[in-house]
Amino acid sequence: MTRRVPAGERGAIDEAARILGAGGLVAFPTETVYGLGADATNGAAIAKLYAAKGRPAFNPLIAHVRDIAAARALARFDAAAEKLGQSFWPGPLTLVLPKVAACPVADLATAGLDTIAVRVPSHDIAHALIAALGRPVVAPSANQSGHVSPTTADHVFADLAGRIDLVLDGGPAPVGVESTIVACLDEAVTLLRPGGVPRESIERALGRAVNAAPQPGQRNDDEAMLAPGMLASQPGEALLAFGPDLPPGAPQAARVLNLSARRDVVEAAANLFSHLRALDRSGAHAIAVMPIPHEGLGEAINDRLARAAAPRE
């Protein structure tokens, strides 16, 4: 029931926009991860989206728009938000801002909050789809709730086949981790989620430090247990490696995948979720993870690893 179309195929974007306009669900690539899109103004479509993901309805969604002017129709920008939007859009940054009174996004998408998360993606296909629909597109990561985010059309298919109308296949998502989420509310700037724009870049653009992200929450369901910073020494463990030098236990590991043999955190981010999915499928009871430097995209990588390793509720 779920169709899969190469995004570059003639008519693919128009067909995807037509499905969205009719209240359907379309997964599409962005520069960060694949998103599961719905027309942001259509409450019924958004209800279907929550059902398809198995996501708790109180978790609000990001509205994706074509440019900063379209974002201003949804949200109020203070000076810091203006600066961040000008500096990093289009790109892997999401701003949480006060919702304007005339905001056309359905209340279900913002879970009844008086704030809204907005983002201008830089991926050509995402941009073309939003432009073709002519309305904001809400899009959570296109995974089943509790799974890691998808960075390929195969990942989306594995999680959502039969539950959505269309997957636009645009190849691997280049950044590999979700957008950085920054709230600009009541004069305060707070990093809510580290992601594709490094904290250092945000602080440089603003000329000041931003408030800390809250501690990562509970572990996602259905992921093998992770042990960040530990060595693979137990038989049956898989190893998520980083850098050229593997620990002594590596030959005993059930499976070894390297995020970046040349110690490049950008390459590591791009590989993170597909390596986690592959090690999860290997049948290992646990995944040991080598230490990853907490710089640049390393902060987002360590955040996702910590979430995956946190105790279950």
Q: Does 144 bind ligand TXA (CB under 6 A)?
A: no
Among residues 41, 42, 94, 274, the one that binds ligand TXA under rule CB under 6 A: 94
Q: Does 62 bind ligand TXA (CB under 6 A)?
A: yes
Q: Count the neighbouring beta carbons within 10 Å of the beta carbon of residue 102.
A: 7
Distance CA 161, CA 170 (A): 17
Identity at 257, one-letter amino acid code: L
Q: Which range touches Mg ion (CB under 5 A), out of 81-89, 139-147, 277-285, 303-311?
A: 139-147
The answer to whether the CB of 29 falls within 8 A of the CB of 92 is no
CA atoms within 13 A on the CB side of 28: 30
Rounded (5°) CA angle 49-144-9: 70
Query: 112 CB contacts (<8 Å, ≥6 apart)?
Result: none
Among residues 59, 211, 218, 252, the one that binds ligand TXA under rule CB under 6 A: 59
Q: Which range touches ligand TXA (CB under 6 A), out of 112-120, 232-240, 257-265, 271-279?
A: 112-120
Q: Does 220 bind ligand TXA (CB under 6 A)?
A: no
Q: Which does residue 144 touch among ligand TXA, Mg ion, none (CB within 5 to 8 A, set by kind)?
A: none
Q: Count the neighbouring beta carbons within 10 Å of the beta carbon of residue 273.
A: 24
Q: Does 181 bind ligand TXA (CB under 6 A)?
A: yes
The answer to whether the CB of 21 falls within 8 A of the CB of 10 is no
| Residues 111/112/116/120 CA torsion (nearest 10 deg) | 50
Residue whose CB is less far from Mg ion, 156 or 284:
156
Q: 3-state DSSP helix/strand/coil percent for the chain, to nearest 5? A: 30, 20, 50
Q: Does 90 bind ligand TXA (CB under 6 A)?
A: no
Q: Does 150 bind ligand TXA (CB under 6 A)?
A: no
Q: Which does residue 274 touch among Mg ion, ligand TXA, none (CB within 5 to 8 A, set by kind)?
A: none
Q: Residue 256, SS3?
A: strand
Distance CA 40, CA 107 (A): 9
| Least distance CB 92 / Mg ion (angstroms) | 14
Among residues 12, 13, 24, 35, the one that binds ligand TXA under rule CB under 6 A: 35
Q: Does 301 bind ligand TXA (CB under 6 A)?
A: no
Among residues 16, 61, 71, 290, the one that binds ligand TXA under rule CB under 6 A: 61
Q: Does 137 bind ligand TXA (CB under 6 A)?
A: no
Q: Residue 71, SS3?
A: helix
Contact positions toward Mg ion, by CB under 5 A? 141
Contact positions toward ligand TXA, by CB under 6 A? 30, 32-33, 35, 59-62, 94, 96, 110, 113, 115-117, 119, 139-141, 178-179, 181, 192
